[in-house]
């Protein structure tokens, strides 16, 4: 996995720094099968790591300088020092993801040495497949590998990466993206309890394909509606006097709504019902019941569209095309933070060609683009690349 990215990162490293790297590491992106926006509500999610991600070619230095080259950004280089305050650059620029992780590795109490790093990735950006989490976890993995931090667990790396995105980059994401990137298991989805960070592998049937279709509607999280949704969920939890919406039952949601703002009530209803759908989905997927999994995925999409209001008309159309082509043999839904991005579908491998043709024939983005289809493998989490 990621072997194609290794020479790209190596070439960028040699071009920027003039010598061969010592180590190569990777961290995957992810697709969320079900459980949207439940993670920052201490709820449950069911993502899987995918065979698209970030590879870093890396070498340790003997000083406090960190040099980073981005192969995918025309070889742009960022340089900063560990013995000076690490500050963000312009909002939305790639060095902030690296700088933030390094800053919070230090805040975790780890003694860092300098490093030279070359980054290369193939996660489609702006598609809701967690290119940012993949990069963040890969940076943590690079320093762990270079400095031999055996005590730094995958969960530690995920929490540090999340902290960097929350506090340094400025996006209040939950733990899901970073945790599945760090802890994914090959051939399985990962049921994550976002409060305890406990995970349980949910094996995918061997004949099932994970299809991701990019709507070609680009999306953004920082400075978008994402943070507003989080604030609305927090307001609902405060109204009901619970720590998080994970602790709220559907019966109490309806009985004690009182004068709660109608929009906030809809947001809360999505989270409460989505948590239960996610737990149900883990059970039916483990049993190999793709028909019922499709029912749950369809209900999830409707809830995201009507209660959480994070879908896009083009993505709604794409999901309908997918579901019509799949029939009762699987399901489809929007995946990711919303407002564009991707749809995910679970379907028998034998149906992939027909569903791909249906997308190519029937779907066009608002700007006339054909949806991009990726057929993915559920992959292992971060680690070294041989």
192: helix, strand or coil: strand
Active-site residue 177, yes or no? yes
The single residue listed with the structure tokens 């990162």 is 9
- Among 177, 207, 247, 307, the one annotated catalytic: 177
119: helix, strand or coil: strand
Identify the bridge partners of residue 26 per DSSP, sorted by sequence position. Answer: 55, 383
CA distances from 184 to 27, 35, 189, 314 (A): 10, 16, 8, 30
CB 118, CB 173: distance < 8 Å: no
CB 272, CB 253: distance < 8 Å: yes
CA triple 167-173-176, angle to 5 deg: 125
- Cα 64 versus chain centre, distance: 31
E-state strands within the chain: 23-34, 44-60, 65-70, 76-81, 115-121, 188-193, 199-203, 208-214, 331-335, 342-348, 372-376, 383-384
Pick from 253, 133, 279: nearest CA to 192: 279
Instruction: Starting at the earlier edge strand, list the strands of the sheet with 208-214.
Output: 331-335, 342-348, 208-214, 372-376
2: helix, strand or coil: coil
The single residue listed with the structure tokens 């960190």 is 66
Q: Which run of H or of E encompasses 262? A: helix 262-286
Q: 302 is written with which tokens?
A: 């409707």
Q: How many whole angstroms separate alpha carbon 156 and alpha carbon 161?
A: 9
Q: How many whole angstroms separate alpha carbon 85 and alpha carbon 69?
A: 20
264: helix, strand or coil: helix
Q: 13 is written with which tokens?
A: 């490293």
Q: How many whole angstroms separate alpha carbon 124 and alpha carbon 115?
A: 27
Q: Which residues are catalytic?
A: 177
């Amino acid at each position: 996995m990621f072997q194609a990215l290794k020479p790209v990162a190596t070439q960028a490293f040699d071009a920027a720094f003039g010598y061969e790297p010592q180590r190569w590491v990777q961290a995957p992106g992810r697709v969320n099968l079900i459980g949207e926006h439940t993670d920052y509500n201490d709820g449950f999610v069911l993502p899987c790591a995918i065979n698209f991600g970030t590879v870093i070619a890396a070498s340790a230095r003997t000083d406090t300088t960190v040099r980073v080259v981005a192969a995918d950004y025309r070889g742009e280089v960022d340089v900063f020092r560990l013995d000076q305050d690490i500050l963000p650059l312009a909002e939305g620029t790639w060095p902030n993801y690296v700088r933030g992780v390094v800053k919070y590795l230090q805040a975790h109490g780890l003694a860092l040495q300098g490093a030279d790093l070359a980054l290369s990735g193939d996660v489609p950006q702006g598609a809701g497949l967690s290119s940012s989490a993949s990069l963040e976890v890969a940076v943590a993995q690079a320093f762990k590998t270079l400095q031999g931090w055996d005590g730094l667990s995958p969960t530690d790396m995920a929490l540090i990466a999340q902290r960097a995105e929350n506090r340094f980059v400025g996006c209040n994401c939950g733990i899901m993206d970073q945790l599945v990137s760090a802890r994914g298991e090959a051939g399985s989805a990962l049921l994550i309890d976002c409060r305890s960070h406990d995970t349980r592998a949910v094996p995918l049937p061997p004949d099932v394909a994970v299809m991701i279709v990019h709507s070609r509607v680009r999306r953004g999280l920082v400075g978008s509606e994402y943070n507003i949704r989080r604030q609305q969920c927090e307001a609902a939890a405060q109204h009901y006097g619970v720590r998080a919406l994970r602790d709220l039952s559907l019966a109490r949601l309806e009985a004690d709504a009182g004068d709660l703002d109608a929009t906030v009530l809809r947001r809360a209803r999505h989270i409460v019902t989505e948590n239960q759908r996610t737990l149900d989905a883990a059970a039916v997927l483990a049993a190999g019941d793709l028909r019922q999994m499709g029912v749950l995925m369809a209900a999830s999409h409707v809830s995201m569209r009507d209660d959480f209001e994070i879908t896009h008309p083009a993505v709604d159309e794409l999901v309908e095309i997918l579901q019509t082509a799949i029939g009762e043999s699987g399901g489809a839904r929007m995946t990711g933070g919303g407002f564009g991005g991707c749809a995910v579908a679970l379907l028998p491998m034998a149906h992939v060609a027909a569903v791909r043709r249906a997308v190519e024939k029937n779907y066009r983005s608002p700007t006339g683009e054909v949806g991009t289809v990726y057929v993915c493998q559920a992959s292992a989490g971060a680690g070294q690349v041989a």
